[in-house]
Amino acid sequence: MQVTEKDTDLTYLREIEVHPVKDQQMNYLDTLTELKKVNGVHVVYENEDETRIIALIDNYDASVRIGSKNWCISSVIYGGSLGNANGINYWNMYLRNPDHRQYFVWDFKQSSEEWVLVGTTTNEIENNIYCAYNYPNRSFSMENYIQENNWDRSLFFDNDQK
């Protein structure tokens, strides 16, 4: 993925953020409605009874719009770097492998706000989880999270748009 002028335009990137989604200030239905409006976001699983959503994120712009405000891949400026948006560099680092996919997960039944929104990078070919971070940006085992919260692991693979 090549960095474009638009990717380094701080004003543009800040304007596209969907702040209530990024800051977890929306409920299940409102979040789902907003996600479906964002180019590059493909809701691959939604369950109103369980109040759970899984979205495949195709590009940096989509990640900036809806990902945790604490994540490098969803940040306009991350780590204090000024002048240009550097989140695109982190996005490219995590997705440099063409077999990697980025998913964001909302689980509104979580009792702690830091676990309502999590992000994970998967490897399609190896059928494994590359890494995962919760809302405050602490890494964790997505495999354990899936098992402890009764998710279907297969939901995180084979979701490319045909």
Residues of the chain where predicted confidence (pLDDT) is lower than 50: 1, 82-83, 162
Sheet-wide strand order for 41-47: 41-47, 52-57, 100-107, 117-123, 128-134
**What pLDDT is attached to residue 1?**
46
**What pLDDT is attached to residue 79?**
60
pTM of the model: 0.88
- Rounded Cα distance between 71 and 88, Å, is 12
**What pLDDT is attached to residue 96?**
92
Residue 80, in any domain of the structure: yes
**What pLDDT is attached to residue 109?**
94
> What is the identity of the amino acid at 24?
Q
- Asked whether the beta carbons of 41 and 19 are under 8 A apart, the reply is no
DSSP 3-state of 131 = strand
- Rounded Cα distance between 137 and 139, Å, is 6
**What pLDDT is attached to residue 4?**
57
**What pLDDT is attached to residue 75?**
83
**What pLDDT is attached to residue 8?**
56
H/E segment holding residue 19: helix 19-22
**What pLDDT is attached to residue 85?**
62
From the list 98, 135, 139, 137, the residue with the least C-alpha distance to 115 is 135
Domain count, the chain: 1
The boundaries of the domain holding residue 107 are 6-156
**What pLDDT is attached to residue 2?**
52
Residue 98, in any domain of the structure: yes
- Rounded Cα distance between 41 and 54, Å, is 10
- Rounded Cα distance between 83 and 19, Å, is 22
